[in-house]
Amino acid sequence: MTNTESAQQETIPSTAFKEWAVICRAITTGRQDIILRKGGIVEPGGSFQLLADDFYLLPTFVHQSKDHLIPSAQDLIITIDEDRPPEGTVEFRHKIHVTESFTISQPDELAALRPRHVWSDAIVNERFNRWEKNLHVIVVTVSPVTPVIQIPWDDSYGGCKSWITFNQTTQQASCLKQ
């Protein structure tokens, strides 16, 4: 096998992080550099865990609302449906690298994070106060995935969970995009 063939067969990261499409857009356009996470309803052990330092960003289109955003960021959601992938597929357009992660457990710590995200105070407070009073903070950098990777949708990707795992190669995924 040549180096080119080897590179084509390279396994892509097998982990993607699910987040509202509007928040993905905020991150990828530089308007946000943190992810605030409580954990999905079906998280293993009932709380969020950071599974990887490098992963794909998987935009989701349910539960998001302009009311969940600060007024100056509500423009991000107006054309969000343009970011939907073709029916029956998942697209990875951006890869995330975690530079820091920590948990906050005091409400006054939320104020220091205000300039770093576009969520409304109401949604952040609701998440902080749900179940245990804490919130996971993930500081991230973002890079584009070129070419965009497209894989088939699998029902296991659905549901209220933060992470999906999959097992594809870039060669297989790239074939789907053509």
Domains, the chain, with CATH or none = 14-177 (2.30.130.30)
Q: Are 40 and 160 in contact (CB under 8 A)?
A: yes
What pLDDT does residue 32 have? 98
Q: What is the mean pLDDT of residues 140-146?
A: 96
Q: What is the mean pLDDT of residues 39-62?
A: 84
Among the listed residues 145, 148, 142, the one whose alpha carbon sits nearest the alpha carbon of residue 30: 142
For 171, the token pair is: 């060669």
Name the residue with tokens 């659905």.
Answer: 158
Q: What is the mean pLDDT of residues 53-64?
A: 93
Q: What is the mean pLDDT of residues 151-163?
A: 89
Q: What is the mean pLDDT of the chain?
A: 86
CA angle 170, 174, 178 (to 5 degrees): 175
